[in-house]
Amino acid sequence: MSDKMKIGHLFPIKTTPLQHDKAAKTSMGRAPQSTEFRDLLESKVLKFSHHAEVRMEQRGITLQPDSLSQIMKAVDDAASKGAKDSLIVFKDIAMIVNVPSRTVVTAMDGKQMKSNVFTQIDSAIILS
């Protein structure tokens, strides 16, 4: 039993040639984005659920680009700690964010935050 096993014998590596699929081109003549690029892009974007959009409109909540970048960094920090659902408080705005999907589930302003109980969260981030 002195035969040495090679990694390739235990886990054979199969490769297939790249295939160019002309049918996969979009109507504009460009090839579709790769799924890896799309996944990477979506992993950096902060999305808002329909419910959150409605609540923000009802409550007059608007976010500036610099505010969004701070909130996105907070979501990144929460993800690095393994958070699933986070309360993010930014100035006088509170948001519940589903961290894995990077989706704001709901949002409220300072008036709605007072005397409110936040449930089904596993973390809280207070930004200034």
Q: What gap in Å lies between CA 102 and CA 88, rounded to an integer?
A: 12
Tokens 């974007």 identify what position?
Answer: 45
Closest CA to 55 of 125, 109, 114: 109
Which range in 22-36, 44-58, 106-120 is most confidently predicted, on average pLDDT? Answer: 44-58
Please give the share of the chain, as a percent, with pLDDT higher than 90. Answer: 56
Predicted confidence (pLDDT) at residue 120 exceeds the cutoff of 70: yes
Q: Is the pLDDT of residue 94 over 90?
A: yes
pLDDT band at residue 42, thresholds of 50, 70 and 90? low
Per-residue confidence (pLDDT) for residue 111, from 0 to 100: 85
Residue with tokens 């979506």: 42
pLDDT at 17 over 50: no
| Distant-in-sequence, close-in-space partners of 55: CB < 8 Å, separation ≥ 6 | 61, 106, 107, 108
Query: What is the C-alpha to C-alpha distance for residues 119 and 127, in angstroms, rounded to an integer?
Result: 20
Residue 2, helix vs strand vs coil: coil
| Cα 67 off chain centre by | 16
Cα 75 to Cα 86: distance, rounded to the nearest angstrom: 8
CA end-to-end span of the chain, whole Å?
Answer: 66
**Sheet (strand 123-127) strand order:** 47-48, 103-109, 93-98, 85-90, 123-127
